């Protein structure tokens, strides 16, 4: 915390020093929400009020509590995509009435997931009429000064932002239900990391404000840090009529010990929350998924590739998730879709390196 306080002081001082030289107040470009505690609720038009995201359990890392940035600072965009001999792009007004829709919601530092999301989109377009790509780059990787993000420390503000993004997504769901005649049962929300966490906030918002529940949610490696030991929930049962959670990184809910993962890219929830929770290569993959070898984001992205493979028809060997490390995977194979199999509870699956290529 001392190092970060020094960094913040240095950047603020730098902004103050260069301001008179260039005749501008550069301190206005400092995003103090990253390190300044938010102790009171904040309210914004169209998305309501937010209680501070309590972060006291994360000792030595600022802030004590965080609130989301104003919606116009989050950079939220909706791009509707469908395939008709070639990819076509529209806004929400372009959604075909009485059709099926899947939202794709990236997570923390979402600029790193676009290639993986396109693999996901290709798979989803086999099952849905159109895809809504959600962009929230500015909120997912908040800048500290001069549009420069400081990773690790901005994770907490990004987590707070995910609640506002969830409500914005919720408003878009109400729009397509009422203006494009989309049946909520035909809407699926797919989110990775913090994008997966937005699903809970979207679900809560549309239940409370619009009395809506979507048909399905697929939560890919939802972030446990900083949701463990906070006043905010991880996405799970009840956020849709069917909730599947696919886990590829694992952080145990242990105070203080878990906080060292706050800036790591392996911050997935170990606890099951969905109707079906699929744990990939657990417990062998505690450190890395196959082929990742410490590569940043790789193990978390493995959940995206595994789900994309399932959309292409891949099935995976299973075994009960237990503490018996000698238990072998069985020849029984499953897909990753509770709408087809019914709720499966907690289940471990075996997935090889490059899952799409291996079963295509």
Q: Give the SS3 label for residue 135.
A: strand
Token readout for 116 is: 């993986």
Backbone CA torsion sign across 103, 107, 111, 117: negative
Residue 47: pLDDT band (50, 70, 90) is very high
> What is the rounded distance in angstroms from the CA atom of residue 26 to the CA atom of residue 175?
39
Residues 81-107 have pLDDT tens digits of: 998 878 889 999 999 999 999 999 998
Which residue's structure tokens are 């996405």?
235
What pLDDT shows up at residue 19? 44
> What is the rounded distance in angstroms from the CA atom of residue 184 to the CA atom of residue 278?
25
> What is the rounded distance in angstroms from the CA atom of residue 358 to the CA atom of residue 360?
6
pLDDT cut 70: percent of the chain above it = 78
Average pLDDT over residues 23-49: 77
Residue 5: pLDDT band (50, 70, 90) is very low
Residue 319: pLDDT band (50, 70, 90) is confident
Give DSSP secondary structure letters for 13-56: HHHHHHHHHHTS-GGGGB-GGGTS---S-EEETTTEEE--EE-T
The H or E element spanning position 102 is strand 101-105
Domains and CATH numbers, the chain: 70-359 (3.40.50.1820)
- The per-residue pLDDT of the chain, averaged, comes to 83
What pLDDT shows up at residue 23? 46
What pLDDT shows up at residue 333? 77
First and final C-alpha spacing in the chain: 48
Residue 331: pLDDT band (50, 70, 90) is low
CB of 223 within 8 A of CB of 258?
A: no
> What is the rounded distance in angstroms from the CA atom of residue 243 to the CA atom of residue 172?
20
Within 10 angstroms of residue 149's Cβ, the number of other Cβ atoms is 20
Residue 27 has pLDDT above 60, yes or no: no
List, in sequence order, every residue forming a beta bridge with 269; answer none if it has no partner.
Answer: 251
Residues 232-274 have pLDDT tens digits of: 999 999 999 999 999 999 887 766 555 555 445 678 888 899 9
> What is the rounded distance in angstroms from the CA atom of residue 70 to the CA atom of residue 161?
9
> What is the rounded distance in angstroms from the CA atom of residue 87 to the CA atom of residue 82?
6
Average pLDDT over residues 57-66: 69
CB of 234 within 8 A of CB of 203?
A: no
Nearest to residue 165, comparing CAs of 131, 145, 139, 185?
A: 139
Number of H helices, E strands in the chain: 8, 17
Which residues neighbour 18 within 8 Å (Cβ) at sequence distance 6 or greater? 26
**338: alpha, beta or left? (left if phi > 0; alpha if psi -120 to 50):** alpha
> What is the rounded distance in angstroms from the CA atom of residue 250 to the CA atom of residue 264?
11
């Amino acid at each position: 915390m001392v190092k970060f306080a020094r960094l913040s002081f240095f950047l603020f001082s730098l902004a103050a020093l260069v301001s008179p030289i260039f005749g501008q107040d550069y301190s206005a470009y400092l995003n103090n929400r990253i390190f300044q505690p938010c102790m009171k609720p904040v309210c914004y038009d169209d998305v309501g009020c937010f209680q501070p995201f309590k972060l006291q359990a994360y000792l030595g890392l600022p802030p004590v509590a965080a609130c989301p940035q104003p919606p116009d600072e989050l950079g939220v965009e909706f791009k509707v995509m469908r395939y008709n001999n070639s990819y076509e792009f529209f806004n929400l007004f372009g959604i075909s009435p009485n059709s099926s829709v899947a939202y794709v919601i990236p997570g923390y530092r979402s600029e790193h997931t676009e290639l993986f999301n396109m693999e996901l989109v290709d798979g989803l377009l086999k099952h849905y009429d159109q895809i809504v790509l959600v962009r929230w780059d500015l909120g997912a990787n908040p800048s500290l000064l001069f549009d420069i993000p400081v990773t690790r420390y901005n994770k907490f503000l990004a987590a707070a932002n995910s609640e506002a993004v969830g409500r914005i997504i919720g408003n878009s769901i109400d729009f397509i239900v009422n203006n494009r005649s989309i049946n909520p049962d035909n809407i699926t929300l797919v989110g990775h990391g913090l994008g997966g966490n937005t699903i809970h906030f979207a679900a809560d918002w549309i239940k409370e404000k619009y009395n809506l529940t979507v048909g399905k949610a697929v939560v890919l490696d939802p972030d446990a840090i900083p949701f463990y030991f906070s006043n905010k929930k991880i996405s799970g049962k009840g956020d849709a009529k069917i909730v599947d959670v696919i886990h590829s990184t694992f952080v145990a809910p242990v105070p203080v010990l878990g906080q060292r993962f706050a800036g790591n890219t392996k911050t997935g929830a170990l606890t099951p929350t969905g109707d079906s929770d699929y744990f990939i290569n657990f417990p062998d993959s505690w450190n890395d998924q196959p082929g990742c070898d410490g590569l940043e984001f790789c193990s978390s992205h493995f959940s995206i590739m595994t789900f994309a493979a399932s959309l292409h028809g891949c099935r995976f060997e299973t075994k009960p998730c237990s503490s018996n490390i000698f238990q072998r995977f069985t020849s029984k194979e499953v897909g990753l879709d509770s709408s087809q199999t019914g709720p499966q509870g907690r289940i471990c699956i075996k997935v090889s390196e490059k899952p799409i290529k291996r079963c295509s």
